């Protein structure tokens, strides 16, 4: 499992120091790996999962559908993210989890998670922390959707994903793989594809981002961050005792 939970370990270590014992404890988490194609449902809304899933490769997202069938994405998960840790306590899923790109995830049975949390209060706090960071990201999305312009919100999202990817070692310089469709972006920001398309083009024309296929390049991060008024505080990317 060591290989598979590498991103999780890295993600937690970006926020606090792990002892060898804690690393071993994490590595002791058993689980089964499952692969999904883009668009497949990983966890259904309304279900009561008995295992939590950790992203190993690719992207997943939480999706909610309104009565009239519109989709809203309310989180994007990258490798190392424990997608539905909350499923352990929330029992019934109020949303579904979908594969946004081809991806593989690790299902860890809840009793195993509880075992680890009982064994290490500190690790328990760090897992709690990861759900709190989830919440902080949700708040940032809300202000983005509610109060930012489409273009600056797009830029904001790109900054966020860039930093999160870099935190787990999935960037090369200013480039990273962001295999999402414009429909997905639209559903993250609560807008139409057409409008996202036009806004994205204007970001490209302004030289703020390059985006070819799934390869995103940020020519000048500082400039993009300034444009988006991006403040990374909410990502809690500082190693501190927690």
Q: Which residues bind its own copies (CB under 8 A)?
A: 46, 62, 64, 66-67, 70-72, 74-75, 86, 89-92, 94-95, 117-118, 121, 124-125, 128-129, 131-136, 138-143, 145-148, 187, 189-191, 229, 231, 233-234, 236, 238, 240, 242
Q: Which of 11, 98, 130, 150 binds DNA (CB under 7 A)?
A: 150
Q: Does 201 bind DNA (CB under 7 A)?
A: yes
Residue 89 site contact among DNA, its own copies, none (CB < 5 to 8 Å, cut-off depends on kind): its own copies
Q: Tell me the three state secondary structure of residue 32.
A: strand
Of 189, 184, 225, the C-alpha closest to 208 is: 225
Residue found by looking up tokens 């002791």 in the block: 28
Q: Which of 1, 74, 191, 237 binds DNA (CB under 7 A)?
A: 191
**Residue placing its CB nearer to its own copies in the complex, 169 or 190:** 190
Nearest approach, Cβ of 136 to its own copies (angstroms)?
Answer: 6
Residue found by looking up tokens 């400039």 in the block: 223
Residue 71 site contact among DNA, its own copies, none (CB < 5 to 8 Å, cut-off depends on kind): its own copies
Q: Does 206 bind DNA (CB under 7 A)?
A: no
Nearest approach, Cβ of 192 to its own copies (angstroms)?
Answer: 11
Strands 171-172 and 103-109 come out as: unpaired
Contact predicate 28/1, CB 8 Å = yes
Helix axes 193-205, 150-167, angle to 10 degrees: 80
**Which residues fall within 8 angstroms of residue 121, CB to CB, at 6 or more apart?**
none
Residue found by looking up tokens 């983005």 in the block: 144
Strands 71-77 and 103-109 come out as: unpaired
Where do runs of H (alpha helix) occur along 39-171?
87-90, 110-119, 121-147, 150-167
Nearest approach, Cβ of 183 to DNA (angstroms)?
Answer: 5
**What is the DSSP secondary-structure string of 141-161?**
HHHHHHHS-HHHHHHHHHHHH
Nearest approach, Cβ of 187 to its own copies (angstroms)?
Answer: 8
**Residue placing its CB nearer to its own copies in the complex, 33 or 194:** 194
Number of residues that bind DNA (CB under 7 A): 17
Q: Does 91 bind DNA (CB under 7 A)?
A: no
Q: Which of 109, 124, 169, 190 binds DNA (CB under 7 A)?
A: 190
**Residue placing its CB nearer to DNA in the complex, 131 or 197:** 197
Rounded-to-integer distance, Cα 21 and Cα 1, Å: 15
Positions touching DNA (CB under 7 A) are 38-39, 149-150, 181-183, 190-195, 197-198, 200-201
């Amino acid at each position: 499992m060591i290989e598979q939970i590498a991103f999780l370990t890295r993600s937690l270590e970006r926020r606090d120091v792990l002892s060898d014992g804690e690393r071993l404890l994490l590595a002791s988490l058993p689980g089964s790996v499952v692969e999904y194609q883009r668009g497949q449902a990983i966890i259904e809304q309304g279900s009561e999962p008995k295992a939590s899933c950790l992203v190993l490769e690719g992207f997943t997202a939480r999706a909610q559908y309104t009565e009239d069938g519109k989709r809203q994405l309310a989180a994007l998960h990258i490798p190392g993210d424990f997608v539905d840790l909350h499923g352990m306590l929330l029992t019934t899923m109020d949303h579904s989890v979908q594969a946004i790109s081809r991806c593989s995830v690790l299902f860890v049975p809840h009793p195993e998670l509880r075992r680890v949390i009982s064994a290490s209060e500190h690790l328990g706090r760090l897992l709690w922390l990861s759900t709190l960071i989830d919440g902080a990201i949700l708040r940032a999305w809300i202000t983005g959707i509610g109060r930012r312009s489409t273009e600056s919100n797009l830029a904001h999202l790109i900054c966020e994903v860039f930093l999160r990817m870099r935190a787990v070692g999935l960037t090369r310089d200013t480039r990273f793989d962001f295999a999402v469709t414009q429909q997905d972006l639209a559903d993250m920001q609560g807008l139409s594809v057409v409008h996202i398309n036009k806004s994205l083009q204007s970001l490209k024309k302004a030289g703020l981002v390059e985006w070819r296929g799934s390869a995103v390049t940020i020519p000048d991060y500082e400039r993009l961050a300034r444009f988006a008024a991006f403040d990374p505080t909410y990502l809690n990317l500082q190693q501190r005792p927690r």
